[in-house]
Amino acid sequence: MDLNELRNEIDAVDAGLVALLEKRLDVSAAIGAYKKAHGLPVLDRSREAEKVEAVKAMCRPATADLIGDLYGPIMAASRAYQTRLTEEKDGQ
């Protein structure tokens, strides 16, 4: 495989990741609405720690820590999205 073919493969993977991340954010928004309706905080540190460990357990040993590290920003983005959506609903 040449460099352009490899880059095309990365582009295809990125397209799939974007679709999955958007789906994850959609579910996160629903979780945020649930939390708001039930008076729960957006941040659940124990759940996030459990989730990172569960994700790492799905990975090959060589990639577990790297992928685990990626989940911190993913979950931070989810929290920010939940907060933004619930604040927008408060302003209506």
Residue in 51, 38, 49 with CA at minimum distance from that of residue 30: 38
The pTM of this model reads: 0.88
What total number of domains does the chain contain? 1
Q: Kind and range of the H or E element at 35?
A: helix 3-37
Per-residue model confidence as pLDDT tens digits over 2-11: 999 999 999 9
The CATH number of the domain holding residue 64 is 1.20.59.10
Question: Which tokens hold the place of 23?
Answer: 């789906």
Range(s) of the domain holding residue 78 = 3-91
Per-residue model confidence as pLDDT tens digits over 47-84: 999 999 999 999 999 999 999 999 999 999 999 999 99
